[in-house]
């Protein structure tokens, strides 16, 4: 994961808690973990709210629901079966303050059926799911696709606009061709075209290439056997985050990619909205995919409030590049706002940008 971290903002593992090997490191890399309830069972028994909630780590914001339920070889749930299980996911979301992502569907061959209907397509399945679960909480739509051209990817995303919810593309790569025709160059072209489209498609909230390391489809791996980046992985990490933030763009503080120790609350500052609050010594924030287009001097602005002042430091890529620290003046209260600046020097590139409180406490409403 460390090799991929500069090009990642989130990851999942088709399970509800992180793999042991990275459980203690992913947060420090600025990569958010997203849990999933894969199907009807959890660790060999039917899942319950108590057991699922116990698995989900602190800091999670979302819960993915059911992996390819219209495939008999995957979660294997009919729309009404998925709808009957969904209230348990809602209870977990309530307890853990999570947003819920719909069952992740795809076009299938050996598909589930009920009442004389076989559910081949994503929209066919989701229509029936929502009909069976009209008041269910579903905040996002998830889909998989293995088309090999960006124009077909656009078509798949367009099919889902009818639900008026942000879309998570939780699996994609070029797979719908004869294996002999899928070369490294084919995967490189599709990856480049797809990422450039996805980063600039407002309907898409998140996406995940399939996969880091998997031999089901030729030349899809981003990582080699020893954890090193493959040629495709190097390309993936190097692609610009067109939908991410560029230097000079204002970032709302609460839109962090990862954090430790802070809370979000409303503000009375001009423009309203929310802030990151109660930032104490040792607390930190991470913002992924921040692009500095040229090498040289930049000025980072912070909109802060602090009764007694404090100290902030900033860094890139999880602390591997330190940008220095700056004093935060006492502004006279938690909602008395002032803009302060920090000069930094950065080599051109796309980074994870981090802020750490060396002394606190303070609030931040935005930075740029």
CATH number of the domain where residue 297 is located: 2.60.120.260
Tell whether 321 and 345 lie within a shared domain.
yes
d(CA 314, CA 344): 9
Both 333 and 268 in one domain: the answer is yes
* Coil/strand/helix, residue 43: coil
Q: What is the pLDDT of residues 143-173, one digit of tens each?
A: 999 999 999 999 999 999 999 999 999 999 9
The pair of three-digit structure tokens given for residue 186, joined into one six-digit string: 């084919």
Tell me, yes or no, whether 257 and 146 share the same domain.
no
> Looking at the structure, do residues 191 and 284 belong to the same domain, yes or no?
no
pLDDT exceeds cutoff 80 at 175: yes
Please give the residue range of the domain that contains residue 318. 246-367
Could you report the per-residue pLDDT of 25-82, keeping only the tens digit for each? 888 888 899 999 999 999 999 999 999 999 999 999 999 999 999 999 999 999 999 9
Number of domains forming the structure of the chain: 2
- Verify that 10 and 62 share a domain, yes or no: yes
Residue identified by tokens 């299980």 is 85
Q: Are residues 260 and 199 in the same domain?
A: no
- Which H or E run includes 133? none
Is 194 within 8 Å of 153 (Cβ atoms)? Answer: yes
Whether residue 43 is found in the same domain as residue 181: yes
Residue 229 and residue 342 share a domain: no
Does the pTM surpass 0.75? The reply is: no
Q: Can you tell me the distance from the alpha carbon of 145 to that of 257, in angstroms, rounded to the nearest whole number?
A: 25
Domain identity same for 221 and 257:
no
Segment 230-248, tens digit of pLDDT:
999 998 888 766 444 445 5
With 60 as the cut, is the pLDDT of residue 88 above it? yes
């Amino acid at each position: 994961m460390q090799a991929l971290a500069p090009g990642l903002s989130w990851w999942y593992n088709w399970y509800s808690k992180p793999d042991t090997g990275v459980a203690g490191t992913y947060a420090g890399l600025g990569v958010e973990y997203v849990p999933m309830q894969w199907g009807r069972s959890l660790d060999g028994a039917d899942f319950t709210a108590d057991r699922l909630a116990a698995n989900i780590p602190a800091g999670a914001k979302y819960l993915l629901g059911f992996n390819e339920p219209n495939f008999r070889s995957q979660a294997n749930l009919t729309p009404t079966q998925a709808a009957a299980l969904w209230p348990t996911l809602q209870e977990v979301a309530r307890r853990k303050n999570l947003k819920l992502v719909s069952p992740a569907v795809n076009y299938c061959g050996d598909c589930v059926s009920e009442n004389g209907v076989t559910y081949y397509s994503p929209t066919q399945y989701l229509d029936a799911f929502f009909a069976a679960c009209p008041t269910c909480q579903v905040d996002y739509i998830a889909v998989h696709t293995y088309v090999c051209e960006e124009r077909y990817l656009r078509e798949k995303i367009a099919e889902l606009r009818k639900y008026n919810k942000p879309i998570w593309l939780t699996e994609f790569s070029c797979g719908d061709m004869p294996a002999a025709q899928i070369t490294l160059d084919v995967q490189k072209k599709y990856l480049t075209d797809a990422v450039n489209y996805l980063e600039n498609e407002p309907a898409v909230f998140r996406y995940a290439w399939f996969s880091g390391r998997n031999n089901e489809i030729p030349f899809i791996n981003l990582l080699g056997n020893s954890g090193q980046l493959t040629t495709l992985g190097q390309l993936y990490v190097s692609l610009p985050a067109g939908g991410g933030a560029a230097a000079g763009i204002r970032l709302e503080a609460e839109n962090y990619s990862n954090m430790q120790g802070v809370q979000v609350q409303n503000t009375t500052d001009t423009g309203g909205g929310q802030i990151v609050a109660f930032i104490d010594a040792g607390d930190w924030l991470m913002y992924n995919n921040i692009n500095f287009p040229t090498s040289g001097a930049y000025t980072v602005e912070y909109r802060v409030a602090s009764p007694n002042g404090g100290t902030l430091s900033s860094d890139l890529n999880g602390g591997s590049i330190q940008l220095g620290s700056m004093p935060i003046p006492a502004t006279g209260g938690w909602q008395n706002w002032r803009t302060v600046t920090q000069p930094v020097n950065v080599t051109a590139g796309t980074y994870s940008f981090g802020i750490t409180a060396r002394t606190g406490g303070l609030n931040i409403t935005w930075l740029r």
